[in-house]
Each structure stands twice: as C-alpha cells, then as structure tokens.
Amino acid sequence: MKSITFLDGKWLEGNPPILGPLTHATWMASVVFDGARYFEGVTPDLDLHCQRLGESAKEFGLASLVPPGEMMELALDGIRQFPKDMALYLRPMLWAESGFVRADPESTRFCFTLFEAPLPPADGFSVTLSQFVRPLPSMAPTMAKASCLYPNSGRALGEAQDKGFDNAVVLDGLGNVAELATANIWIGKDGAAHTPAANGTFLNGITRRRVAKLLKDAGIPVYERRITWAEVLEADEAFSSGNYGKVIPITKIENRDLQPGPIGQKARELYWDWAHR
C-alpha cells in the first residue's frame, strides 16, 4: 500500500514513527483525525472534512494549528504524487505531545497522511445487532472524531464478524439505533428515507448530511428521528452512508435477506452525480 505523510514541513513515504512512549497521545489518547476521499478525480466535501478536524481539536483542548484552506492545499499536493486513477483516503491528524492527563495545547502536533484505499464494492453487506453501545455525551468526547472512540466500534465490528456478519448496528445509551460500527445507517419505509437523529451520541456524518440534502432536493421525504431496532428489522430497505464507502446497500439484517432498494440506489446515484459536478 503506497502512503505518504506530511510532517514537520515535508512529505515522508511509508509509516514514519511519530509517537514515543512519553507522548501524551500514546498513553492518554489525545488524538483527533478526519478522513476524506479522492476517487475518480474528485474530492467531495474536502473542505468540510478539513474544517471538522478543527472542531474535533476544540473538544480535546488541542490547537488547530493548520487552517482548513491550508489543509486542502496539502491534500491536493499529496494527491498529485499518486496515479490519477488511484482511490485514496486522506487523513489529517492532530495530537498532543505533552500534558498531565489534560493535554497541553501548546504541544499539539499535526500530520496529513494519504494512502491507497480502493472504494468498497457496492454489492451490499450484512449486519447484526451489537451488544456494545455508543456512550452518551456525558461519558465520552462523542462530538469529536477521536481515536479513543474507535476501540468500542472495533469491539462491535469484531463481534459481528465473529458471528459471520460484515458490520454491526450499534444502539445509543438510551436503547435507540445510533449507527453502524463504521458508518451511518439509513432505512427506507413506504417511499421515505429515515436515519437516526443526531443526538450527540454519534458523529453527524458529512456524507450523511450530504445524502440527506440530495434526497430532499430530489423530492424524497427524509426523516431524521428516533429509530428502534424493531424498525430496522421491518424496513423495506437499508443502506449506509460514510466517507470510506460513501453509499452502500445493506442486503442482510440478521437472518433476513434484502435486495438493494430504490431509495438507497437513488442516494448513491445522486451522490456520484453531485461529487462529479
């Protein structure tokens, strides 16, 4: 896998060592990041992904260091170092070098990594309900795209894969559907699209927001609301939205097989058309 990282003013190849045993981020998890995509010559919503890194940094008391516009220029410079037809993941990251429990914002460091990452196939995937739940905002920094939140997602994903499924549906601390282990979740019912309301327990995904707007503009009703697991089980169709895979149908929920539905297919079509415009 080809990868490059911008660190301390220069591009480095491979996986450069950046964290030591005394680095605050190593033992206190003061790491925030974001992820954007380059594929088929486009970088959809790159500006919003770069902007969100600063918002995540604020949640952790880190310094933003690099303005979103400068991050975008770094991304485009990095993209030019890869073949034009290669799909990439773009990941800016901030972390604290020092501090005692609380991160010292003056020690914040920045890097920007780009690496080869083919888009997942759009032929569908299976999901099961996880026993693990998303923490409430009072329990964890849920408003940030923070590395410390991902071990819980990893537990949910591992549990699902061990049961023979591709992904997991994760509830929030109140027992409502929050998201998938790796993306936001949508269901279709009676010609309308439904997705869990952003209640602070999961990221209000950039791709999620883009899909909602595109569907609304196309005349498809979109409801952001409380969704129960029972409603997912009874949905006419289901699909995911997220930066890594964009829009992908869910074709199996527990032991129930589904076909890719018209709303999910329309969402993917609209997203691709918008991204290439």
pTM score of the predicted model = 0.95
Structure tokens at 122: 């759009």
- DSSP code, position 183: S
Q: Are residues 80 and 135 in the same domain?
A: no
112 and 132 part of one domain: no
The tens digit of pLDDT for each residue in 190-248 reads 999 999 999 999 999 999 999 999 999 999 999 999 999 999 999 999 999 999 999 99
Taking a C-beta distance cutoff of 8 angstroms, is the pair 94, 57 a contact?
yes
Q: Tell me the torsion sign for CA atoms 154, 210, 89, 203.
A: negative
- Judge if 73 and 54 occupy the same domain: yes
Residue that terminates a domain, selected from 116, 141, 159:
116
> Cβ(148)–Cβ(29) under 8 Å?
yes
- What is the total residue count of the chain? 277
Instruction: Annotate 52-72 with b (16+ C-beta within 10 A) or e (fewer).
Output: bbbebbeebebbbbbebeebb
Pure H helices in 61-126: 68-79
**Shared-domain flag, residues 139 and 177:** yes
If asked whether residues 26 and 101 sit together in one domain, one would say yes
CATH code assigned at 250: 3.20.10.10
User: If you average pLDDT over residues 158-182, what whole number do you get?
Assistant: 98
Cβ atoms of 15 and 4 within 8 Å: the answer is: no
Of the candidates 192, 247, 214, the residue with the CA atom closest to the CA atom of residue 37: 247
Comparing C-alpha atoms, which of 117, 95, 75 is closest to residue 33? 95
Handedness of CA 198, 200, 201, 203 (dihedral sign): positive
User: Is the distance from CB of 112 to CB of 238 less than 8 angstroms?
Assistant: no
**Maximum CA extent, the chain:** 55
Between CA 119 and CA 244 the distance in angstroms is 7
Give exposure, 175-201, as e/b (b: 16+ Cβ within 10 Å). Answer: ebbbbbbbbbbbbbbeeebbbbebbeb
Rounded to the nearest integer, the mean pLDDT of the chain is 97
pLDDT at site 46: 98
Q: Using alpha carbons, select from 236, 156, 228, 229 the residue that is nearest to residue 189.
A: 236
Residue 226 in contact with residue 197, Cβ under 8 Å?
Answer: yes
Q: Which CATH number goes with the domain that contains 9?
A: 3.30.470.10
Q: What is the mean pLDDT of residues 253-263?
A: 97
What pLDDT sits at residue 1?
85
Q: Which of 96, 116, 136 is the last residue of a domain?
A: 116
Write the CA distances from 247 to 121, 216, 238, 273, 276, integer angstroms: 10, 16, 11, 13, 15
Per-residue pLDDT tens over the stretch 48-106: 999 999 999 999 999 999 999 999 999 999 999 999 999 999 999 999 999 999 999 99
Count of structural domains, the chain:
2
